[in-house]
A and B are shown apart, each in its own frame.
Chain A
């Protein structure tokens, strides 16, 4: 076991700092040279991400994430408050504050999985040593362990955006807040997607923003808010362009762009960097479309992952799939449906942020009756031309497991699309090896999808 005496932030930031120095337009020979000198835990991940089809986007997101991590590291020295928030909350609202810095729990956690020696296993174990259940979602438990251990930065406040959509995530955030003795701000969702529920949610969201202003000690400046919302609107336009490109056969969007897309959305939406990042992904995909590039001789399957993917071996899953002719079209974390925020005045922008948060991945689909999830899946299947679906079977997500059978049956009934059910922890490789996942996916594609 890897012995650690530092937190995820302190260990990850220098690695991203190093990656940020990699130049655009590397030749394969140069990539091979870089891979040779890397420590073992980075060889696999960077080897995969620096594949020619995604290398430049990897460099750009590494630079952006390096800046993001540095911003969090220096926040307190800069007199700013660190606000820990879940993935299902729009960071642009926090960028609108002069004195606040967003820190996305799940992305920090996933970056740790990707680049750290021993991934986040030691941090997960810390939570279990404290007595927290082993059934908690590893999307955030690693960072939680890091924060609870006292080895990491301590956030000044926590936003809990999952009451009503995920008990697991909400309870972990509550525990963190109580243990670290920091205040929590809630956006709570009623359990359906009706207009009446949205009105209650919006009212709560307005109170939430007022409370946040009080905590940060700063009233949101309309001009600054407008700037981030306009950036978010521009990035959303590129997002829809990228989504359109996913419809092309064979798919010109590299599989790993699904992950890049939500890393961008969850950490830097509302900034210029987010626009540059999504724009670059669009440019790469357009160029590949023009050339008809695809990483395998043929696209054998177009898979829609109905829940999350697996992140403990990006190369072993995302790259392996497309190199074997299996496109990773999207997953639930990429079901954004970003709205164009009306930037007329502060009120319209806050209401726009409320709508955006309401429609965030998972809040929208699993914070309601299963039929909302099914409707979104049917829409994605038809839009993207998916010919199969895959459920990752992340064990912590009891509520998706709880309606998987119905969702699978409904999808088959409404679209005829077959569905594979895997069973593996998405962030912890100790449960199921990636080779098992590869075998199951390959068997599914060979025996079901190719014989449809």
Chain B
């Protein structure tokens, strides 16, 4: 079995065998819902951070009774699983105000399910020194809550170590994206999404092993037979089947700007072995003074706020379009698909402006509005993508 097969298997289930092994060792698992949650902090406490997603959710009858049909189907699907038994292995949840839907998903989850630990992380919407300080305070509140609830101690050294582990993961993912974005891509978009999903579903040290093997296995692999090179961006999307359907009609997804994708790790160091402190000094050397260099919590807060290329951040549109343009150029794409889940105003509005500006820059764009997990929509989407490929002359 190849590493890719292992990672695909991991991404194809929620409570995978590595989570079970972790739990069997008496260790705890914390669910988080958004790329804005610093998982390094959770891991530094000896907890396994597990990103909540909605794999396998069909009907959302129970969730709809609490959220509504006017809420995003990804959050409704996650809540459906949360209110059922699929996430009973979690020992707590940490969910931010990622968007209004997610905020309300958390409140319903906490109100109904009453998890032993339920923390609403308050991630600021604008990046200023004032709000960076606020976020640092918030992370310290979370730290204290975790320490008290689980009887552990999160020392600065442990935090530095955890940051170092995740930096190595990010560094290797960057290398994987180099293989993905090159002229002869080494993996498909569906495979890449599985790899990223697995990252937030198993212990990072275990994941690093898979990634190292995968990089070797795929180094000389060359995907062929596709009609166009595409980039995929938009709202929370962990639907590997959907990406596969896009690729089945000839549009190979060679890069992305998804939060289940590049946006989750992109600021990681080029040098996978870089130590956390060195890396942070290098990335933020202009902003850092000598004292904050020594403070990992400060570094973590800055890192997360600065890398959030998500439309939930305000005053940063130029950062988001630059991210996409840069990836599109790097991966030499023929077009960009921007999806948003129905009722996701953050991405729905952002995608409209991105389309205007990307098309001005000569990059063809397809906007797709989706319902999460709606298999019956696949045929319609394939037709849209076929039409887009023809429009781009591919």
Contact = CB atoms under 8 A, between A and B. Distances in A.
B350 to A, nearest CB: 7
A178 B137 CA distance: 32
A190 B124 CA distance: 6
Interface stretch (B163-171, B173-181, B208-216, B339-347): B339-347
Contact of A402 (B67, B124, B346): B67
A186 interface: yes
Contacts of A396: 70
A186 B126 contact: yes
Interface string B32-71: 0000000000000000000000000000000001111011
A259 B5 CA distance: 62
Contacts of A186: 125-126, 314-315
Interface string A383-423: 00000000000011111011111100000000000000000
B120 interface: yes
Contacts of B346: 167, 171
A160 B314 CA distance: 9
Given A175-B352, A370-B107, A200 B120 contact: no
Contact of A132 (B107, B124, B130, B349): B349
B353 A178 contact: yes
Given A188-B124, A190-B124, A191-B97, A401 B314 contact: no
A395 B345 CA distance: 12
A165 to B, nearest CB: 9
Given A133-B345, A167-B100, A402-B107, 14 more contacts: A135-B348, A167-B312, A167-B346, A174-B349, A178-B353, A186-B125, A188-B124, A188-B125, A192-B120, A204-B131, A207-B128, A395-B70, A401-B68, A401-B70
A135 B349 CA distance: 10
10 contacts: A132-B348, A160-B314, A179-B356, A186-B126, A188-B126, A192-B122, A204-B128, A395-B70, A405-B66, A406-B107
B198 to A, nearest CB: 30
B293 interface: no
B382 to A, nearest CB: 21
Interface of A: 130-133, 135-136, 160, 163-164, 166-168, 170-172, 174-175, 178-179, 184, 186, 188, 190-192, 196-197, 200, 203-204, 207, 369-370, 395-399, 401-406
A197 B133 CA distance: 11
Given A167-B312, A174-B314, A131 B352 contact: yes
Contacts, number: 138
Contacts of B348: 132-133, 135-136, 171
Nearest to A172: B349
A207 B356 CA distance: 32
B353 A175 contact: yes
A398 B108 contact: no
Contacts of A132: 348-349, 352
Contacts of A370: 104, 107
Interface string B107-131: 1100100000000101011101011
Q: Which of B107, B314, B367 has the most CB of A within 10 A?
A: B314
A135 B315 contact: no
B108 A170 contact: no
Contact of A163 (B126, B345, B352): B126
